[in-house]
A and B are shown apart, each in its own frame.
Chain A
């Protein structure tokens, strides 16, 4: 094994991926200007693939034992005389990538706003996927560093005279900041279509209970279509799937409250508040609910 060649070629591959990801992110602004959502999504997806590849390039570059790093490679970095230590922030390609990422995210929020529910679902999902890869890449970096320096400090920390934290501590803080970076900005999320059941499972005579993504819902036939509402009465939380249909209305088994499944509106006391309703999508024999 030629450790130095692996170390350097791994860094070169890291830089190549960083430059390619930066280009994908920079192209987002143009795609937004052109109102081309498909291109926005394609650039975000490519960026996510490249971000994951950056983590793999790190694993490749450092695929040798801790002792080799400590006794062979680290001394070669220390001997370069870099005054601020040998921090990764000196990696110009990665620093430029971070700036491009910030610009792309700002452009996306400037276009679509902070309410994720107002975003095109594909764009929202693609940005979430990129963000997940960014978090995972940061987590990979923690593990890569831990495998090479254990609880030791980085050369930059040593140069700065830091005494209270290790290199891995700093990288864990970066993970936390990366997680918060996007999730703190969204005030809502778009609905996503999820398989609920087969169309044939929904009886014409009585409401049908399903659980979709951990949420109990009620499906029923009314007004010539299938509708989805919350599963429990707004009056006393009775399970509406144990009730029945009266014409096109859902009837609560406990006190007889009636609900319109199209709007969720309470039509007969004692219930006063409406049920939440959810869009239903039928594709062939399959029934989906948008949550």
Chain B
């Protein structure tokens, strides 16, 4: 399940939760993205590096977990109605009027931990993997998650 903002709004001014673990994930993500883009990693090496990043994502998701919002079913049904509600429910999406960046980061890292653990089992090409990592990096930058030195 993922909690997403019903109006699409994420408040960026609050503090992050689990900031150090999030920063370690962001640093690992940047390093792996560069490696995928610039280095000739063989399949085994790439698989190992992705699983290493998945472990960092799990740690970050756990550290950020206290920021997860409480689901209010009434609010969800108010924000998404009709077939859009069915669509959200099918994909396990719950809605809140607005989320903080800490809440959004906690759910994003939770989703990405699963994606990264599964990624080596896919048949995605390197360009798709690199684009996925670039999107994660851009999301981290938008949320103000700074990569650890």
Contacts and interface: CB of A to CB of B under 8 A. Distances in A.
A16 B111 contact: yes
A24 B5 CA distance: 16
Given A53-B131, A56-B128, A90-B87, A15 B138 contact: no
A8 B2 CA distance: 10
B70 interface: no
Interface string B1-42: 010111110100000000000000000000000000000000
B72 interface: no
Contacts of A77: 90
**For this complex, into which size category does the number of interface residues on chain A fall?**
35 or more
A53 B136 contact: yes
Nearest to A52: B131
Nearest to A47: B138
A81 interface: yes
Contact of A59 (B2, B6, B88, B124): B124
B139 interface: yes
**For this complex, into which size category does the number of interface residues on chain B fall?**
35 or more
Contacts of B93: 12, 15
A82 B87 CA distance: 8
Task: Please classify the interface of chain B as helix (H, G, I), strand (E, B), loop, or mixed, using the class held by over half of its residues.
Answer: helix
A79 B60 CA distance: 36
Given A12-B93, A77-B90, A63 B122 contact: yes
A278 interface: no
Nearest to B113: A9
Contacts of A96: 7-8
Interface in B122-139: 122-124, 128-129, 131-132, 134-139
Given A13-B135, A52-B131, A82-B86, 17 more contacts: A5-B114, A12-B2, A15-B93, A16-B104, A20-B138, A23-B8, A53-B134, A56-B135, A57-B132, A59-B128, A60-B119, A60-B128, A80-B86, A81-B86, A83-B82, A86-B87, A90-B87
